[in-house]
Structure formats: structure tokens, C-alpha cells
Structure 1
Amino acid sequence: MIGRSLKTLTTGSYQNEVKERIREAIITGELQPGQRIVETKLARIFGTSQVPVREALRGLEEEGLVRSVLYKGTYVADFVLKEIYHIFLLRTQIEMTVLELVLPTLTEEHIGQLEVIVEQMRNVEGDADYLVQSELDVRFHGRILEWSQVETYVRIWHMLSGHVRRFISLMHPTYFTENHDTVVRQHEELIAVLKSRNFAQVKEAFTDHVMLLWRENGEAWLTGGDT
């Protein structure tokens, strides 16, 4: 089934747009783990040549979202919970490093940017397209990463965020809709602790937030085998 991610391009920025469309299709589960990706088919869907599709797949392989098998083709990367767990641990370490960097220079303008994102979270209605909520969640944390002005962290964060959103999509697709008010409140609390400028409190709050689902379900997920 071809969904909203895989459709004819409407702009001329083929390579970047093709990559983001395929990336989104993998994150949302429109392209399933282990599914073969046929360049000619995607090129036909997007209304472009195979070149931007091939380049996009190379970039996604660097992110770990697709894998190439010699003489067989390109496939959506398998979904391995042990790997995802360590991605969350790495994400936590990077966020803590960045928070320590940005906290001393945090301004009201910075806080305002986060409050705008939380307000957008609050205004998502109905089934909310949990995809919208997950994107806003990633945007909230990604904005803080951007303030570090350390390109390495920003680049790694972009790669990790795809796996984080894919994890939510495949493991708990109704999480954001079932817990809408709680998610909004959690991010309001993160903003409140940022205002304290107390790094120990900020570190504890953000670590608890990022690792929440793993604290609640991690043992069962990791001992129950990979999906």
C-alpha cells in the first residue's frame, strides 16, 4: 500500500526529498523491516530517475535504516530491540552533554521556542496522527541539540531520531494518542526544570523522560527476543 510518504514529488529538490520520503516510510512502518526496496519502483512512484533514489538509499544505509546485500538488493533494516536500547542510551549521553553545554547560556528566547512546540503538541487533536506527535517530540529535543552549535551532535541526533521514532511506531503506535495529556505535561515539566538552571535536576529529569518506556518495559522487551 502506497501511503503519504511514497508519492510523486512536488518540488525539484529530488535527492533530499526522496531521502526524507523513504526515511519517513521506514519510520512509520509503511516500509516494513526486511522489505526489499526496488529502486525502479520508487523512481516510478516519485516520478524521477533512479539516481536520486540510489543516492537517498546510500544516505539511509549510513543512518542504519536500510541495508544492502550484494547481488540481492537493498532492504529495510531489521528491527533489533537490543540495538534500539543502546541507541536510547547513546541518545541520553548526547543530550546530557549538550544540556551541560547550553544550560549556562539558556535564554528566555530559547525557552519560548520550546513552549511553542509544547503548545503545538497540546493542539494536536483526535487520533492525532501520533506521527505528528512523535515528530514534535523529536523536534523539542532536537531544538536543544541545535543550540549547542556542535554539528557532530546535531548530525548524530538526526540519525538517532529516525530510530527513536521508528521504535515508537513499531512498538507502541498508540502511545502519543493514549497519553496525549501526559506527554504534554512531561514536556512542560522539562521546560520548568530547564528554567531552574540546575544541571543535576535537569540531567535527572531528561534521563528519566528519555528512558521512560525502557524503565517500564525494557526487561520484557529485551528478554522476550527481538521483533
Structure 2
Amino acid sequence: MSINADERGGVPPWGPTVVASVSRKDAVGIEIRRAIILGRLKPGDKLTETQLATSLGVSRPTVREALNQLTREGLIVQEPYRGLRVADVTKEQIRDIAVARVGLDMLAIDAILADQTGRRMQIVEEGWEQFERYAFHPDPVVQHEAHLAFHRQIWAASENYLLLKLWPVTEAHITLAIAEDQTARDDPERAHRVHADLMVAIRTKDRDTIEAAFVAHTLTSAEELITLLGGEETQ
């Protein structure tokens, strides 16, 4: 792994991040996330401070801080006598995350639709513009970040305090699922298509239409992912 940004196709506003612009701890966290997304670190892989510190050229305390943060988010788990490892993703977890996301997404949508000024909807539109800009970026990590940023923008547009606090943990679980998704099918055209369908529904401003679109987008995609992974739990 490297802690330098990959600048192919331009660097989007959310990352990859140049080391000088963030703390060393955050830079290490970015690179570990990147390794997970690209499949270089797989569910169940053990992580050691010494190995990561050597490969990234940083101190062990810096790595420890980054690992603690990723553990709080759920990307990494710590087990007695086994140490740290990349979190597993099971088919039950994929379904649970999808169901919870639909409910939380609709909580955001309700707040957006209640805004008579249209300001919150404009924030969603801006998020969509950013997604379209990077959806076909040659770097799959940037594609992943574009996807996350779009969904994050929907929650941010709601201005719901709880959603904003929940996002980092939700993002970590989405990352684990999408990392499996992109490993199983590297298809940015499909990713763009399903998000375009979702945006079309959001623009109708009809709650039932939007909810049906989120169900199709999230729950159906979850079941497709489980099928692509062979319907088996990740060990």
C-alpha cells in the first residue's frame, strides 16, 4: 500500500486525499480503507501494527490510532487472543444493513420533501452532479467514494442530526458490502444506471415512488450481491 493519492483522472473533493492535507492517522485510515475496497485486504485478514507501520512508513502509534478509529466504525474487529482483523460480511448482515438503510434513507427523504424552499432538494442535485462526474473514473476506489458521497449527500440534505451522527458507521458497513460487490462485478455502468433510476424517482417528489425506488435500489441490490457471492456467508 501507498499513502500517496492516485491522481488518475483527477482527484475528487472527497478523496483519495493527499497526505499533507490530512493528519497522518487519517492518511493511514484512508489507505487501509482503500486496501479493503480493492480487495487487497479481505474479510478475516489479520492486521498487525508492525506490518502496517512498515509498509506505510509511519509509526506504530499512528497506525494504532487509525486502527482504533476503523474499529469504532466497524471496518475492523478485535477478538480476544486473535487480534485485529478485517470485519466479515455475512448474508444476514448484508440484508440487515439494506433494510436499515431503506428506513434511514426515507427518514432523510421525508425531511427533504418537507422543505418548501427546494433548498434541500438542490443539495441532492449537487450530490448527483458529483456522482456523475466520477462514476466512470478509472480508479475503482474513486467510483466507490462517488457512490458513498451521493448517499451521504442525501442524508446531509435532510439536516437530521441523528442521521449525520450515524453516517460514519453506516458508511463502514456499506464499504464492506460494496467492496464485495466490486470484487464480484466490476460494472460502473450498472452502478450508474441504478443510481440514475433512483435520482429519477427522487425528482418526482412522490414519496411512494421514491420509497419503491429505494427498496429496488438497496434491497434488490443486496439480494443480487448475495447471489453473486454464491449465497454463502463470508468466513
Aligned partners of 2:193, 2:183: CA distance in 1, in Å? 19
Aligned partners of 2:175, 2:82: CA distance in 1, in Å? 28
- Could you tell me which residue of structure 2 aligns to residue 149 of structure 1? 159
Seen in structure 2, the aligned counterparts of structure 1 residues 144 and 176 have a Cα distance that, compared at 3 Å, is farther
- Could you tell me which residue of structure 1 aligns to residue 31 of structure 2? 21
Seen in structure 2, the aligned counterparts of structure 1 residues 118 and 27 have a Cα distance that, compared at 3 Å, is closer
- Could you tell me which residue of structure 1 aligns to residue 75 of structure 2? 65
- Could you tell me which residue of structure 1 aligns to residue 170 of structure 2? 160
Q: Percent identity?
A: 26
- Could you tell me which residue of structure 2 aligns to residue 110 of structure 1? 123
Whether 1:200 aligns to 2:213 is no
Q: What TM-score, normalized by structure 1, do the two folds share? A: 0.80
In the alignment of these two chains, the number of paired residues is: 219
Aligned partners of 2:2, 2:27: CA distance in 1, in Å? 15
Aligned partners of 2:209, 2:144: CA distance in 1, in Å? 25
Contact residue 84 and residue 167 of structure 1 kept, 8 A: yes
Q: Give the 3-state SS of the residue equivalent to 1:211 in structure 2.
A: helix
- Could you tell me which residue of structure 2 aligns to residue 10 of structure 1? 19
Deviation at 1:45, TM superposition (A): 2.5
Contact residue 5 and residue 25 of structure 1 kept, 8 A: no
Question: Any gaps of 5 or more consecutive residues in structure 1?
Answer: none
Structure 1 letter corresponding to 2:139: D
Aligned partners of 1:152, 1:134: CA distance in 2, in Å? 24
Whether 1:56 aligns to 2:66 is yes
Deviation at 1:115, TM superposition (A): 3.7
Whether 1:93 aligns to 2:103 is yes
Aligned partners of 2:40, 2:100: CA distance in 1, in Å? 26
Aligned partners of 1:75, 1:6: CA distance in 2, in Å? 24
Q: What TM-score, normalized by structure 2, do the two folds share? A: 0.78
Aligned partners of 2:186, 2:164: CA distance in 1, in Å? 25
Residues 8-34 of structure 1, C-alpha deviations (whole Å, 9 max, x = no match)? x83361122222222232233211222
Seen in structure 2, the aligned counterparts of structure 1 residues 215 and 225 have a Cα distance that, compared at 3 Å, is closer
Seen in structure 2, the aligned counterparts of structure 1 residues 29 and 217 have a Cα distance that, compared at 3 Å, is closer
Seen in structure 2, the aligned counterparts of structure 1 residues 28 and 161 have a Cα distance that, compared at 3 Å, is farther
Deviation at 1:113, TM superposition (A): 0.2
- Could you tell me which residue of structure 1 aligns to residue 15 of structure 2? none
Contact residue 3 and residue 19 of structure 2 kept, 8 A: no
Q: Give the 3-state SS of the residue equivalent to 2:58 in structure 1.
A: coil
